[in-house]
Structure 1
Amino acid sequence: MDTQALYDKFRTRLDNGDWKLGQRIPSIRQVVTSEGASHHTVVKLYERLVAEGYIEAQQGRGYFVTRSGSDGSAVMMPFSSSMEMPSDPLFRLLQGHPDAVKLGCGWLPTKWRDTDILTRSIRRTARLERRSLVEYGDIQGYRPLRLQLCQHLNNKIRLHVSPMQILTTLGATQALDLVTRLLIKPGDVVLVDEPGNGNLIKLISMAGGRVIGVPRGLDGPDVAELGRLAEQHRIKAFYCNSTFHNPTGGCVSARVAFDVLRLAIEHDFMIVEDDVYGDFASGPHQSFAELDGLERVIYIGSFSKSLSASLRIGYLACNLNLIAGLLELKLLTSVAVPGFCERFVNTIMTDGSYLKHMQSIQRKLMVQQEVTQQALRELGWRFEIEPVGGMFLWVRHPSMDDLNPFIQRLADRNVLLMPGSSFSVTRGSDECLRVNVSHFSPELVPLFRV
């Protein structure tokens, strides 16, 4: 029996629940005897099942089931009752079955990533930067990469910044964490987009901040509501997506950016500009940082969304008087971003590979937005914002006030979505859901008929 046939047989048994979670499965020697397969074939089979998370090897004891289910869906080993993480929709999405269509995710499909460019650049970087494979990186960030980021920001948002104002991070998540640790103290009032980044809401709450949502509209946050909140509270910071907002896909207009910055100056609060989707915009786009020059704006970007989630390369740009505090926090929490990863990103930015890759991604996203919007509109779905690029579409259906049953029905078909409540501070948003258009396909259209 060849490896694929044996794999299919074991997958069927695991998916049907023949082996239960935590149960020890037959040893390699037993399978060799019972299936008439070679030792090499069975070893490769078990390596693949381990890599996919179906089984795990326990030293001296054998192999045990960590994923099983009669419906073919992923069911992870149980956590302690005190842990709530497995019930989190994002957790379930990230840990979903490898074959699932992750239509609610926040990243590009694997087939959209130019792995040939990545492979060539990795080899070149490893050949030229061997020391980076084993040594700590620069705590502030690899200086040639910070110089490249200065040029990148100038081209992208017309922001003139020095390398001393840039700090590299483990993705945008760490950048948001460092900024929150530095700025937010227990009891501080913090404003965020509503709907917005659910993890950010939790992050600020963990720091003791009191989170209030500012409604998001077609051209950015509701300035009138922002002004009202600023009159009522002493605001410490406003965290805001500027380009292809998560989850609505909208972009901040120049007028709204100016009005928000005016309120920040008048009421003395910081703006934390989360622009992780900015590279999906073709040409320069509006930002708070451009208008402010980083006086009271902290700008955050990332390559995790556009290039590779595995690299975990993000960065922030800010006023020089904040760098020392952020640098100390980074040293205490992670020391440095892996030097090899920083040098790799510098390589593809220097030789023009990144720009070429992003131009291709931008064109694909524009097409996918148009195709997805048209398909859903014909099925009765509605969306107030019609993005012309980016990954996200924030949709609702007039016949359903609560989309959670619909989300569950699609999950039963191995199509995973994120409920609107995952992006809400207080308002629920159960009537909405986020669709990642890059994962939408004609095969999914029948599932969206209501």
Structure 2
Amino acid sequence: MLPLDPAAPTPLTEQIVQGLIAKIERGILAENARLPSVRGLARTLAVSPFTVAEAYNRLVAAGWIHAERARGYFVSARHAAGARAPARAPVDDAWLLSRVYEDQALDLPAGSGWLPPDWLFEDGVRSALRQLAKAPGEQLTRYGHPQGLPELRQQLQWRLALRGIEAPAEQIVLTHGASQGLDLAIRLLVKPGHTVLVDAPGYSTLLAALQSHGALIRGVPRTANGPDIAALAELASRHRPVAFFTNSALHNPTGTSTTAQTAHQILKLAERHDFHVVEDDPFADLLASPSPTLASLDGLDRVIYLGSFSKTLSPALRLGYLAASPALSARATQLRMAAGLTGSEILDACVLAMLSDGHHRAHLERLRERLSEAQQRVGKRLGELGWSLFHQPGGGLFLWAEAPAGLDPAKLTRTAAAAGIALAPGRFYLPDGEDSRHFRFNVAWSDNSRLYGWLAAQQAA
């Protein structure tokens, strides 16, 4: 029995987590011991099943316990009787990559996922903040709407309609960046032990989040036209996934975009094998012309659509959005409130002011043009050094390039860091962290002669 104190400042979920950790450390719960079911423990402790499920999810993420499909939760061997082993390698790799990018000594982040400051909409941010400073005091001090500022969601309804996506404002939930949108989608669809499909290569932060949640991850190879449909069909038939997470436009890290024909095939497979599709689309505003989306073809039936403002306005704003069916968007709102009540109405209002700014459209046009030009220059320079491009995008942030024979990717990454250059090796983007000779290059940062001089020196050594 776990002693809980509802009057204590420590949340009940955390009390359950710490109580079970103490029992594992003292050996009271032995290796491979089966834990009570979520509902069983909830009845015993007189708490909600949601509280116990959240505690179990945290323990799975920390490696104390693991889930076995259709069997339940068990104490992990590495944590039995006080053993404290590190988390599995792919999660560590994702965090290591994040730490590398945070190091201020790495002044040339050639593999990063963000734009240089002078490429972003700084003037728009300053103008929006000046407007906000004149707002009524109530707007600056109150809690926001559970789904986010209604006026911004109405603006998004109109913008999504231009992409062919019918998403009423009440089916849009604002999020703390696209990352919270992914987290909400995972919590909506995935339980520990469920199988999910992802792009391979794919978004490294998503891989870490899914693994933390206890999901079984299977990678769908990426082609120049989007996910490999034959591989997707085979994996869906064999593993019966609950969801497929895919980055549709200007894919991270390959720069590819899913064609209309491929999108149709994905949705047919989703219906045949009864899984949802989470369409992560943070780069949509960087497309020179709108392309078909899974959400526009599906009508938000099986598709959860995610977007972000970080890539084009400012990462500091940390604002994104989720659009889904009425039932899923309502549930996403509940999960969002459980995690942090409401969002920031100040940030919502700031983004609304920026989108309404007459200079926003011109900013996007200049940004697309600069990225397109940088794509060509970076691709040419890498090719001259013997690097092989997976695909030459017409725009967007990324190029996916294979290193010439004779270069050790791990050594190249370490040597680059010593020289103040942050590279992004391919293994960070693969579900199992397998070896890869590919690297992700951010063309905005990689359009720099210093990078190519350094690469040439490494190849000559």
Q: What's 1:371 paired with?
A: 377
* 1:110 equivalent in alignment to 2:117: yes
- 1: CA distance, partners of 2:265 / 2:93: 40
Q: What's 2:104 paired with?
A: 97
Q: What's 2:147 paired with?
A: 140
* 1:153 equivalent in alignment to 2:163: no
Q: What's 1:122 paired with?
A: 129
CA distance 1:86–1:435, change in 2 (3 Å): closer
Letter in 2 for 1:324: A
Deviations 1:276-300 (A, max 9, x none): 1111112211210010010100000
- 2: CA distance, partners of 1:364 / 1:139: 37
- 2: CA distance, partners of 1:103 / 1:409: 14
- 1: CA distance, partners of 2:365 / 2:96: 31
CA contact (8 A) 1:166 1:318 kept: yes
CA distance 1:87–1:142, change in 2 (3 Å): closer
Deviations 1:168-222 (A, max 9, x none): 0000000110111111012211000000011111211222211100000101000
CA contact (8 A) 1:313 1:337 kept: no
Which range moves more in the overlay, 274-283 or 163-172? 274-283
User: Which of these residues, 437, 440, 447, is aligned with residue 431 of structure 1?
Assistant: 437
Letter in 1 for 2:424: M
TM-score normalised to the size of structure 1?
A: 0.79
3-state SS of paired residue (2:134): helix
CA distance 1:435–1:133, change in 2 (3 Å): same
* 1:415 equivalent in alignment to 2:452: no
3-state SS of paired residue (2:317): coil
Residue 353 of structure 1 and its aligned partner are, at CA, apart by 3.3
CA contact (8 A) 1:401 1:430 kept: no
3-state SS of paired residue (1:239): strand
Residue 91 of structure 1 and its aligned partner are, at CA, apart by 2.3
Unaligned runs of 5+ in 2: 1-83
Residue 228 of structure 1 and its aligned partner are, at CA, apart by 0.5
- 1: CA distance, partners of 2:86 / 2:192: 24
User: Which of these residues, 245, 258, 261, is aligned with residue 252 of structure 1?
Assistant: 258
3-state SS of paired residue (1:246): coil
Deviations 1:121-169 (A, max 9, x none): 21012213543322221110100000000111122x2112210110000
CA distance 1:434–1:263, change in 2 (3 Å): same
User: Which of these residues, 163, 169, 179, is aligned with residue 169 of structure 2?
Assistant: 163
- 1: CA distance, partners of 2:431 / 2:93: 20
CA contact (8 A) 1:240 1:272 kept: yes
* 1:235 equivalent in alignment to 2:238: no
CA contact (8 A) 1:214 1:225 kept: yes
CA contact (8 A) 1:89 1:418 kept: no
Q: What's 1:189 paired with?
A: 195
Residue 87 of structure 1 and its aligned partner are, at CA, apart by 8.3
User: Which of these residues, 284, 288, 306, is aligned with residue 282 of structure 1?
Assistant: 288
User: Which of these residues, 199, 222, 238, is aligned with residue 216 of structure 1?
Assistant: 222
CA distance 1:336–1:227, change in 2 (3 Å): same
- 1: CA distance, partners of 2:155 / 2:360: 12
CA distance 1:114–1:306, change in 2 (3 Å): closer
Deviations 1:331-353 (A, max 9, x none): 01121221111001111212333
3-state SS of paired residue (1:88): helix
3-state SS of paired residue (2:388): coil
3-state SS of paired residue (1:128): coil
Deviations 1:385-421 (A, max 9, x none): 1111000111112314641111222111101111111
- 2: CA distance, partners of 1:99 / 1:402: 20
- 2: CA distance, partners of 1:353 / 1:134: 29
Letter in 2 for 1:113: L
3-state SS of paired residue (2:205): helix
Q: What's 1:382 paired with?
A: 388
- 2: CA distance, partners of 1:365 / 1:87: 26
CA contact (8 A) 1:394 1:435 kept: yes
- 2: CA distance, partners of 1:107 / 1:222: 27
- 2: CA distance, partners of 1:109 / 1:262: 40
User: Which of these residues, 357, 361, 370, is aligned with residue 363 of structure 2?
Assistant: 357
Q: What's 1:326 paired with?
A: 332
- 2: CA distance, partners of 1:436 / 1:116: 23
Q: What's 1:41 paired with?
A: none
Q: What's 1:262 paired with?
A: 268
Q: What's 1:342 paired with?
A: 348
- 2: CA distance, partners of 1:81 / 1:125: 48
3-state SS of paired residue (1:213): strand
- 2: CA distance, partners of 1:99 / 1:208: 33
Residue 88 of structure 1 and its aligned partner are, at CA, apart by 3.1
Q: What's 1:443 paired with?
A: 450
* 1:405 equivalent in alignment to 2:411: yes
Could you tell me the percent identity over the aligned residues?
A: 36
Number of equivalenced pairs: 370
User: Which of these residues, 95, 102, 108, is aligned with residue 88 of structure 1?
Assistant: 95
